[in-house]
């Protein structure tokens, strides 16, 4: 008996027989139909004969998935009745449906006209919280704070709610719901904001109120825990110890020299701009920064002869460290001395191609130039040392053959924490995250993002600085190519650190060379931050924002400076 034939018979039956008695009627009056229904139920793993008949009558091929408020929900729906079919959403999503929310709101207002502001509700909340947690609100309970912190760390790693994935989700949700990247950009929201300010203060901009402008200081983000940690690392990078508390960039700090135990005071702005060298131990730096001297000493300790501050190789430009035996030069770029904008004096401003010009001039005489930015040495010293020693054939990393390793797909947390610790550019949003493991230790990560038509970008590849995994990049790439559908793969090599040898070995072809990119640094930024985070449309909250000003002009007025890199080598691989 065919499904269509059974469907026609069932349609006739439900016209004269109530749903409640349909199964019994079929069992005794139409046993062949009952047998078909029973077999169909078993084959499709359905819950009851009613659900089975509903499938047959409505030509359903598979169990429906929840299409509730949470679009990521993949739960199957619960069957209700032959005439009603399935629930519109799963139990978890049902409470978030707009119609459910509206019904709850109406019920609440019916019993409590003041809604959740009703004194009885507020009092009940406090009593329940005191009984359960011993405080007026659950948010004040240490156990809740600890749980929230652990959950955030588990899902998003050290970046927390500032992670790019969360930011992207916020933007996507706002565009879907409101058609703009943030609800505050809606015209009706702007109008309501202006009306409220006019009614309360008589102005359109809250910062035009003198007492508010005085109270709201830029120091609110300069004192974030992440920035204070950065301050500590900068101080320690100069062999100093922070004695006083950091307040703002325009206040003095007291530091102690670890070499002679001498204390001295200095403005934080001056410290960050290249000062902060102990006047007792180093009465004059002779144009050599403390970090630069650290790098030179590191190389010299490997029995490699170095020369400093050479101007004869690419005149009129100077090279900080030159290793003639290896045909390698190293530049240490202090952010203050190699940037543009902000409070950088006009005679110190470096143009867009300053670092690129030095790189190309070195290449023309057969030298490789490695350009290290100050924040990389401060924040990622361990990684920088590992890469430098590898370039000098003095690597101390433990060698491991990739053939002895296994590849696994990484969780978001695993990928994020590894990149934040060991990649000089940190984490980045990616769709596919692959890791290579040796004895259950994650040694290398390779991530990919997809745009359209199976067009992928190899976003990040980095290794644990304590290990040198022979063949890891090749093994990870081959795994990706064998297990995922792709047409094209592109990737970018940072010219400050790479000449593209790895990409050539992997079978990529050089597609193009990009222009130098730029990174912002300044108040509240830990190291450098990519320019895309400071596009003009994102600067409206700054006090200096005006439509007729450019991005650079606004950022300069806000005391931010920017530094250019050497551009990238764009590589491409096609099937």
pLDDT at 286: 45
- 167 pLDDT exceeds 70? yes
Cα separation, 345 vs 273, whole angstroms: 11
Cα separation, 157 vs 409, whole angstroms: 17
Place of tokens 């005439």: 83
Cβ neighbours of residue 561 closer than 8 Å, sequence gap 6 or more: 335, 336, 339, 340, 341, 342, 343, 344, 520, 521, 522
Which residue did the predictor score with more confidence, 532 or 158? 532
- Each residue's pLDDT tens digit, 221-271: 455 556 777 788 888 877 888 888 877 666 788 889 888 888 888 877 667
pLDDT at 424: 92
- CA-nearest of 490, 493, 553, 562 to 521 is 562
pLDDT at 249: 65
pLDDT at 72: 63
pLDDT at 403: 93
CATH number of 290-391: 3.40.960.10
CA triple 493-494-495, angle to 5 deg: 105
- 3 pLDDT exceeds 80? yes
Q: How many CB atoms lie within 10 A of CB 199?
A: 8
pLDDT band at residue 102 under the 50/70/90 scheme? confident
Q: Which of 198-207, 213-222, 286-295, 349-358 has the highest mean pLDDT?
A: 349-358
Whether 511 contacts 572, CB under 8 Å: yes
Torsions phi, psi of 243, nearest 5? -95, -45
- Each residue's pLDDT tens digit, 305-316: 999 999 999 999
Q: Which two tokens stand for residue 174?
A: 């706002």
CA trace torsion 534, 536, 538, 540 (10° rounding): 130
Cα separation, 186 vs 180, whole angstroms: 7
Cα separation, 283 vs 518, whole angstroms: 34
- Each residue's pLDDT tens digit, 45-91: 888 989 889 888 888 888 888 766 555 677 788 888 888 888 878 87
Which residue did the predictor score with more confidence, 432 or 213? 432
- CA-nearest of 382, 407, 428 to 165 is 428
- Each residue's pLDDT tens digit, 350-364: 889 999 999 999 999
- 427 pLDDT exceeds 60? yes
pLDDT at 409: 94
CA triple 327-333-335, angle to 5 deg: 170
Cβ neighbours of residue 454 closer than 8 Å, sequence gap 6 or more: 485, 486, 487, 488
Q: Which two tokens stand for residue 417?
A: 């924490």
Average pLDDT score over the chain: 86
- Each residue's pLDDT tens digit, 369-419: 999 999 999 889 999 999 999 999 999 899 999 999 999 999 988 999 999
Cα separation, 458 vs 440, whole angstroms: 24
Cα separation, 85 vs 498, whole angstroms: 61
Q: Is the peptide bond before 132 cis (omega within 30 degrees of 0)?
A: no
Which residue did the predictor score with more confidence, 360 or 198? 360
List the domain boundaries for the chain.
Answer: 3-94, 222-272, 290-391, 399-574
pLDDT at 221: 47
Which residue did the predictor score with more confidence, 154 or 326? 326
Cα separation, 387 vs 424, whole angstroms: 11
pLDDT at 273: 58
Which residue did the predictor score with more confidence, 297 or 233? 297
pLDDT band at residue 283 under the 50/70/90 scheme? low
Whether 39 contacts 46, CB under 8 Å: no
Angle between helices 31-43 and 3-16 (to 10 degrees): 120
Weakest mean pLDDT among 150-159, 186-195, 217-226, 443-452: 217-226
pLDDT at 20: 79
The CATH class of 399-574 is: alpha beta
- Each residue's pLDDT tens digit, 461-515: 999 999 999 999 999 999 999 999 999 999 999 999 999 999 999 999 999 999 9
Q: What percent of the chain has pLDDT over 90?
A: 37
pLDDT at 282: 64
Place of tokens 């290398």: 444
Cα separation, 561 vs 354, whole angstroms: 15
Q: Which two tokens stand for residue 5?
A: 């034939």
Weakest mean pLDDT among 138-142, 190-194, 271-275: 271-275
pLDDT band at residue 2 under the 50/70/90 scheme? confident
Q: Which two tokens stand for residue 265?
A: 């005071």
Q: What percent of the chain has pLDDT over 70?
A: 93
Compute the radius of gyration of the chain from its Cα atoms.
32
């Amino acid at each position: 008996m065919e499904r269509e034939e059974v469907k026609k018979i069932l349609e006739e039956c439900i016209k004269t027989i109530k749903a409640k008695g349909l199964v019994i009627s079929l069992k005794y009056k139409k046993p062949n139909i009952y047998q078909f229904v029973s077999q169909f139920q078993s084959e499709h793993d359905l819950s009851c004969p009613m659900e089975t008949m509903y499938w047959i009558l409505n030509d359903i091929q598979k169990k429906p998935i929840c299409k509730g408020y949470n679009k990521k929900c993949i739960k199957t729906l619960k069957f209700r009745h032959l005439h009603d079919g399935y629930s519109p959403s799963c139990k978890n999503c049902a409470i978030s449906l707009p119609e459910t929310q509206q019904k709850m709101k109406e019920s609440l207002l019916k019993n409590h006209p003041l809604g959740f502001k009703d004194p009885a509700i507020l009092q009940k909340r406090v009593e329940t919280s005191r009984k359960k947690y011993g405080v007026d609100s659950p948010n004040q309970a240490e156990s809740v704070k600890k749980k929230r912190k652990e959950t955030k760390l588990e899902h998003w790693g050290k970046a927390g709610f500032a992670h790019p994935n969360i930011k992207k989700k916020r933007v996507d949700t706002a565009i879907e719901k409101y058609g703009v990247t943030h609800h505050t950009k809606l015209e009706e929201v702007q109008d309501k904001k202006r009306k409220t300010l006019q009614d309360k203060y008589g102005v359109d901009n809250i910062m035009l109120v003198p007492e508010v402008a005085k109270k709201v200081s830029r120091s609110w983000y300069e004192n974030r825990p992440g920035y204070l940690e950065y301050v500590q690392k900068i101080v320690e990078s100069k062999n100093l110890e922070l004695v006083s508390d950091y307040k703002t960039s325009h206040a003095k700090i007291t530091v102690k020299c670890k070499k002679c135990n001498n204390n001295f005071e200095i403005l934080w702005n001056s410290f960050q701009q290249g000062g902060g060298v102990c006047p007792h131990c180093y009465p004059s730096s002779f144009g050599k920064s403390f970090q630069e001297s650290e790098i030179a000493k590191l190389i010299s300790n490997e029995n490699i002869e170095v020369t400093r501050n050479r101007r004869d190789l690419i005149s009129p430009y100077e090279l900080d460290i030159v290793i003639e035996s290896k045909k390698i030069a190293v530049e240490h770029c202090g952010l203050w001395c190699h940037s543009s904008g902000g409070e950088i004096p006009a005679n110190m401003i470096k143009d867009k191609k300053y670092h690129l010009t030095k790189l190309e001039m070195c290449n023309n005489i057969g030298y490789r130039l490695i350009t290290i930015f100050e924040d990389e040495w401060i924040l990622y010293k361990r990684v920088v040392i590992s890469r430098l020693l590898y370039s000098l054939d003095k690597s101390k990393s433990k060698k491991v053959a990739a053939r002895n390793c296994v590849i696994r797909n990484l969780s978001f947390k695993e990928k994020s924490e590894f990149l934040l610790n060991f990649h000089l550019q940190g984490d980045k949003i990616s769709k596919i995250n692959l890791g290579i493991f040796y004895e259950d230790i994650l040694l290398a990560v390779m991530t990919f993002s997809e745009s359209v038509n199976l067009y992928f970008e190899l976003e990040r590849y980095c290794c644990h600085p304590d290990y040198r995994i022979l063949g890891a990049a090749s093994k990870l790439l081959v795994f990706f190519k064998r297990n995922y559908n792709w047409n094209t793969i592109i990737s970018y090599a940072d010219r400050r650190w790479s000449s593209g040898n790895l990409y050539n070995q992997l079978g990529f072809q050089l597609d193009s060379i990009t222009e130098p990119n730029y990174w912002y640094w300044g108040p509240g930024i830990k190291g450098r931050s990519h320019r895309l985070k400071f596009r003009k449309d994102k600067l409206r909250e700054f006090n200096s924002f005006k439509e007729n000003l450019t991005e650079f002009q606004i950022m300069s007025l806000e005391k931010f400076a920017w530094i250019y890199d050497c551009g990238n080598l764009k590589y491409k691989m096609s099937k």
